[in-house]
Structure 1
Amino acid sequence: MPAEQRPYHHGNLVPALIETTIQLVEEIGVEKVTVREVAKRAGVSPGAPFRHFRSKSALLTAVAEQAVERLYDAVTAAQDPALENDPLGQLERIGQGYLAWVRTYPTHFQIVSDRKLIDFHTSEISTALNARIRIRMVDLLTRARDNGQLAPGQDIETIILDSRAMVYGLSRMYTDGHFRDWQPDGDPFEWMKRGLSAFIARLRA
């Protein structure tokens, strides 16, 4: 069935608009996406999306919220109960979950990463889930420091920033297609995991 004839009802209009937005971003680029074009592709009236989203930014913020929800699910699922006595191992698993999320949902990553496109800090869902991930990281690093697992001189706040920069940088390389220039042989995802493992190894005492 053509996209413009896709049936919908009130209960699933918002998910349909989010899905259609993602499809359009992948086809024509986020800059060219308009709320009117999303409505047309979803098979609804031009004014229908505005009942839920007052602007393109609001619509993309909803996409970002879905992105953060899926990121949170990915990093949570990546946690391994067998590593609870190895907090740095669990920290690496958070990073692996993040990278797996990017590989599965690269368009979500691109949208949620561009703060010019979305109103991230006004989203209770996004900020709350982001905070939960950060709290988990602080807890793991505090435990690693207290049990002597961290190398001397390591600062928790700096590690959190470096960890974010590491997985974000690898993810941008992946979504922007840089691996064929820097590591042309093998699966980019495997190179991403190797880079993450090397970073975690340098944290260990």
Structure 2
Amino acid sequence: MGMSRERGYHHGDLRAALITASFELLAESGLRRFSVAAVARRLGVSSAAPYRHFPDRDRLLSAVSAAAARDLRSAILTAADAAGPDPSSRLASVADAYFRYVVSTGAGLHVIYAAELYTVPDDARRVETRALMETVLDLAFAADAPSYQQAVALVEAIIAAAHGYTSLYAEGFFNRGSSSVDAIAMRAVEAARALIRAQTGR
């Protein structure tokens, strides 16, 4: 069965399938259990098949990082537009987008900026991660963050709060029977609003 499935991937399809399966594995098991072999098993292909596209774990993770940065940025822009014209609401929506994205994919900033990727040369990843941070910083500046350093600190605090909610949710801290993703996302947004008011007064 593994061989027949493997033969079904061609003309670059396996590369895309490996990235998709990586997200599924991250969502289920986290970064510590992420490996090329585990991704291959998930797809039902030979352990050698992924290495035709990615020479090692870090190269595969780098491709996942680029895709995650791109998709998270898109989710943030969508959430900001849905939040309306108020700059503080648009910035607070980052927490909503981040929480929902990480709960569904497992790929938060701990994956996007994984320490093992610092020495991996990947221009595509660098373009996507830079665009992600520029987008979030632009939202912070629009909400009257007084300086670049304070904008960075505010963004870090908002993402840290949202990431904390994702971790608690994943670990079963909340009663999932009564606390839906929507409810916890709203708590993350309220935490972001409090952080924004504390720094900007808005």
Q: Which TM-score applies when normalising by structure 2?
A: 0.73
Q: How far apart, in 2, do the equivalents of 1:170 and 1:28 lie?
A: 17
Residues 186 and 115 (structure 1 numbering): CA distance in 2 closer, same or farther, change over 3 Å? same
Q: How does 1:25-40 map to 2 (within 5 A)?
A: 31=32, 34-36=35-37, 38-39=39-40
Match of 1:144 in 2: 143
Q: CA deviation at 1:139?
A: 2.8
Greater shift in the superposed pair: 126-135 or 92-101: 126-135
Match of 1:165 in 2: 160
SS at match of 1:186: coil
Q: How far apart, in 1, do the equivalents of 2:136 and 2:30 lie?
A: 34
Match of 1:197 in 2: 190
Q: Deviations over 1:81-132 (max 9, x none)?
A: 7733x11111012221112212322x33387167245458744333333322
Match of 1:132 in 2: 131
Kept in 2: contact 1:179–1:188 (CA 8 A):
no
Match of 1:59 in 2: 60
Identical positions, percent: 27
Match of 2:92 in 1: 92
Q: How far apart, in 2, do the equivalents of 1:168 and 1:38 lie?
A: 25
Q: CA deviation at 1:188?
A: 4.8
Q: How far apart, in 1, do the equivalents of 2:38 and 2:157 lie?
A: 39
Q: CA deviation at 1:53?
A: 1.0
The letter for the 2-side match of 1:178 is F
Kept in 2: contact 1:67–1:108 (CA 8 A):
yes
SS at match of 1:179: coil
Q: Deviations over 1:69-89 (max 9, x none)?
A: 2212211221227733x1111
Stretches of structure 2 lacking an aligned partner (at least 5 in a row): none
Q: CA deviation at 1:157?
A: 3.1
The alignment's C-alpha RMSD in Å is 3.5
Residues 125 and 200 (structure 1 numbering): CA distance in 2 closer, same or farther, change over 3 Å? farther
Kept in 1: contact 2:161–2:191 (CA 8 A):
no
What is the count of residue pairs matched by the alignment? Answer: 194
Q: How far apart, in 2, do the equivalents of 1:197 and 1:32 lie?
A: 32
Q: CA deviation at 1:59?
A: 1.7
Larger Rg: 1
Match of 1:115 in 2: 114
The letter for the 2-side match of 1:104 is S
Q: Which structure carries more relative contact order (alpha carbon 8 Å, separation 6+)?
A: 2
Residues 187 and 8 (structure 1 numbering): CA distance in 2 closer, same or farther, change over 3 Å? same
Q: How far apart, in 2, do the equivalents of 1:113 and 1:8 lie?
A: 26
Match of 2:179 in 1: 186
Q: Which TM-score applies when normalising by structure 1?
A: 0.72
Q: How far apart, in 2, do the equivalents of 1:176 and 1:4 lie?
A: 36
Residues 8 and 138 (structure 1 numbering): CA distance in 2 closer, same or farther, change over 3 Å? closer
Kept in 1: contact 2:98–2:108 (CA 8 A):
no
